[in-house]
Structure 1
Amino acid sequence: MAKSYKRHIAKSITWRIIGTADTILLAWLISGDPLTGLQIGFAEVVTKMLLYYLHERVWFRIRAGITKNGDSKKRHIAKTITWRVVGTIDTMVLAWVISGDPMVGLQVGGAEVVTKMILYYLHERGWYKIDYGLKQRRKRIKEQQEAFNK
């Protein structure tokens, strides 16, 4: 189980790079100010890293959505939705506080709902194909398949 922490940290870092780039671009386009975009993007690095790590730990403990063959597309969709709710609220608050304009917060949050859900789903599917931090993944999948067959 200790290796799963390394996996969740690695996933947190890769997602944050993708998510921050998306936020910076959206905040810049919406506010019209590249500095505001950078400030919002970099401010959320800390909050999102912590929130994403906690989100991963919760979902690691939840077994819902894992299918007989070990695949979990429905699970990834559910994780995408729950993460987007948490992430959007965080971005809206940060964008509002940094820009001083609640409409900028709402617009950035609203725009990223679409872009981030697509990017997050692709990120989850990519990480599903990587065994890093899951030394016993194949053994666990086989055990799950056997349990479903009983």
Structure 2
Amino acid sequence: MSGTSHKRHLLKAVSWRVVGTIDTMLLAWLISGNPLTGFKIGVAEVLTKIGLYYLHERVWFKADLSKISWLNSSNYRHIAKTITWRVVGTIDTMLLAWLISGDPIIGLKVGLAEVLTKMILYYLHERLWYRINFGLDKREPS
């Protein structure tokens, strides 16, 4: 494993966080009715989610998935990564939105709204990165 893969995963984490933060800010603003609350939740997520996303990428990169045949297809692998990341991300969002807004219902609503929007955005992000060879020593066939 080269140091380049670390750079790839870091750049993926940053690019995803930009997309994810904009989505979170807009949803939190719409749900709370307060743009400042949306902004605060988005900023807090930058701090938590980049680290969580990087760890998620490293786990998937190091995992030996050869025995799980259906995960050998890039489409199915990206769907599985989307689901596992969404679980981690939704829990983080709900907790942050609750703590920042002071209202657990707002936390729940923001988290639930993100389930759909973030899964779609994350899948598209994964497909885009799958087409980019940056940080890969060689591309494994899908």
- Is the shorter-chain TM-score for this pair beyond 0.5, marking a shared fold? yes
Offset at 1:63? 3.8
State the match for 2:63 in structure 1.
62
Q: Aligned residues: percent identity?
A: 67
CA distance in 2, matches of 1:53, 1:6: 10
Matches within 5 A, 1:1-150: 1-64=2-65, 65-67=71-73, 72-137=74-139, 141=140
Q: Which entry has the higher C-alpha Rg, 1 or 2?
A: 1
Structure 2 residue runs without a partner (length 5+): 66-70
**Mean Cα deviation higher: 12-21 or 58-67:** 58-67
CA distance in 1, matches of 2:133, 2:118: 24
Runs of 4+ in 1 over 6 A off after TM superposition: none
Task: Write out per-residue CA displacement over residues 77-133 of structure 1, whole angstroms, 9 at most, x where no aligned residue.
Answer: 000000000000000000000000000000000000000000000000000000000
CA distance in 1, matches of 2:79, 2:108: 24
Offset at 1:62? 1.8
State the one-letter code of the partner of 1:31.
S
TM-score (normalised: structure 2): 0.93
CA distance in 2, matches of 1:114, 1:100: 24
Number of residue pairs aligned between Structure 1 and Structure 2: 136
TM-score (normalised: structure 1): 0.88
Structure 1 residue runs without a partner (length 5+): 146-150
RMSD: 1.2
Task: Write out per-residue CA displacement over residues 129-150 of structure 1, whole angstroms, 9 at most, x where no aligned residue.
Answer: 000000322xxx26xx8xxxxx
2:124 is paired with a residue whose SS is: helix
